[in-house]
Amino acid sequence: MKKMSKTSLIGWFMLIMAVGMGLELFFNLRIFIPLLVGIFLIYSSIRTGKKGRKNVYLIIGISLIAIAILSSTFFKFFIIAAVIYILIQYSKNKKEPQKIIVETMAPDPKPSYRKRTPFITNRFTGNKRIVNEVFEWDDINIQCGFGDTVIDLGMTMLPPGESVVVIRSLVGDIQLLVPFDVNIHINHSTISGKLRIFNEESEHFNSNIIYYPDGGEEALRTVKIITNVMVGNVEVKRI
């Protein structure tokens, strides 16, 4: 029997939760009535022409629908299950941080395609491991949900000019290993975490920082690093 993938299991779980919550909302009068009234008030806010009354209807309607959904047993179970799953996945990725070793060939100056999927793609918990695979350089733009991520650019053939690395992460540490012969520009945004660039370290809380560790000098190759991290540390090292 073919084993179901993790994505399929998550999809089936969410479908079951959605159907169960829908049935509960329909058959439980205690939460069905506020839901029905909320839908009616939102519909009334769309139909009414008076702006003040429209806003009042809309706010009350959304509030009643939110109360009905939050009162659902299936919704509470879904939240608990999601939190447990996230904690388990985060624990696994914390023990074994995912590492991306970027080894590229020189980019084609005249690409023959109009659209293609980048080699490095998003992962909800960490990123896939890339070892001993050579591919054409693309600017990196990925989103990481939970877990630590290491991106190694030591084997990368960067094109002349500016190359961009964009990383968005919810919870987890990010480490970027960059070659010695490139300049670095950093634009870092975080809710809570430390930023370590070479030998300098600073702690940030709900802040944004733009940093030029090389003094903004012109160079043949530059890597612009943009990181958006909710909770976690970011480290940039030369190798």
Q: How many domains does the chain have?
A: 2
Same domain as 69, residue 25: yes
Task: Name the more confident of 182 and 217.
Answer: 182
Hey, what are 49's tokens? Answer: 């022409």
* Partner residues linked to 178 by β-bridges: 238
The stretch 127-151 carries a mean pLDDT of 67
Question: Which structural domain, as residue segments, surrounds residue 197?
Answer: 97-107+120-238
pLDDT of residue 191: 85
Cβ-contact 29, 71 below 8 angstroms: no
DSSP secondary-structure letter at 128?
-
- Is 134 part of any domain? yes
Same domain as 134, residue 170: yes
- Is 49 part of any domain? yes
* Partner residues linked to 99 by β-bridges: 150
- Is 35 part of any domain? yes
pLDDT of residue 226: 92
Using DSSP, state whether 192 is helix, strand or coil.
strand
pLDDT band at residue 203 using 50, 70 and 90 as cut-offs: confident
Same domain as 232, residue 126: yes
Same domain as 103, residue 83: no
Same domain as 42, residue 87: yes
Virtual torsion, Cα 25, 27, 33, 37, nearest 10 deg: 60
Cβ-contact 178, 198 below 8 angstroms: no
Same domain as 76, residue 103: no
Same domain as 234, residue 124: yes
The pLDDT tens digits of the residues spanning 66-121 come to 888 888 888 888 888 878 877 776 666 555 555 555 555 555 555 555 555 555 66
pLDDT of residue 100: 59
Compute the distance between CA of residue 169 and CA of residue 226 in angstroms, rounded to an integer: 11
- Is 112 part of any domain? no
Compute the distance between CA of residue 213 and CA of residue 186 in angstroms, rounded to an integer: 8
Compute the distance between CA of residue 230 and CA of residue 166 in angstroms, rounded to an integer: 14
Q: Which residues of 188-214 are buried (b: 16+ CB within 10 A; e: fewer)?
A: bbbeebebebeeeeeebeeeeeebeee
- Is 115 part of any domain? no
